[in-house]
Amino acid sequence: MSEEITVSQENGVLIMTIDRPEAKNAMNKAAAEAIAAALDKLDSDDDLRVGILTGAGGTFCSGMDLKGFLRGESPIIEGRGFGGLVQAPPKKPLIAAVEGYALAGGLELMIACDLVVANEDAQFGIPEVKRGLVAAAGGVMMLPDQIPERIAMELALSGEFIGAARAYELGLINRVVSGSALDGAKEMAAKIAANGPLAVCVSKQIVKESRGWSMEERYEKQAQLIGPVFVSEDAREGAAAFAEKRKPNWKGK
């Protein structure tokens, strides 16, 4: 794994830490490649249930490495997008643990995650316009899907930041913590990892995809996805564990 990213795992959770604190964890090509590789591991390893993306040194990610940009380097992976993530999120749940700044490409990495836990002092924004650029890694397209359009427009056109309290109020983040965002994300991940892995992944898929389904086709499309879950070994195990008052032993099949 690249030195730009540190990866560890515990209790079924894969923790990916952008480790470029001297550059405020600005995203470069090596870091993007490492994130893409780590996400492949998350989805392919049956022992892993949830991923967490965070940053070292008190900052989540300050965006694209502009020094690398000036050298002609791109932190975009073909088919995967910025940071190896924004255009191809994992099938399994991914939580962003945000300390400090999630700006520009850093915010775009964050909104590509499924859930967000942030420290109360965190700051969020897409200030690309201040540099004559556009938040092209999903910011101007995806942010209006997650917060009111007029607020997304203000952030995109002004380049100004908002704090954690405002981000929570807008529904941009799930939880605000006074201590470690990573600890808060681990707590959230543990609750997800305790559930049936097939059901979790299909639930995520339906939440993500169903917004594009017409009213007429919603239940039919959902049935196609949940059918295999309801006849799985895990479904029987979940029912048996409930009846026997014990924790389920999930097999992911």
Q: Which residues are catalytic?
A: 108, 128
**Pairwise CA distance, residues 13 & 117, whole Å:** 15
* 42 HSE (CA, 13 A, CB side): 28
How would DSSP label each residue in 123-152?
Answer: EEE-GGGGGT---TTTHHHHHHHHS-HHHH
**Pairwise CA distance, residues 85 & 109, whole Å:** 7
**Pairwise CA distance, residues 122 & 125, whole Å:** 10
Residue entry with tokens 């039919």: 220
**Pairwise CA distance, residues 24 & 19, whole Å:** 9
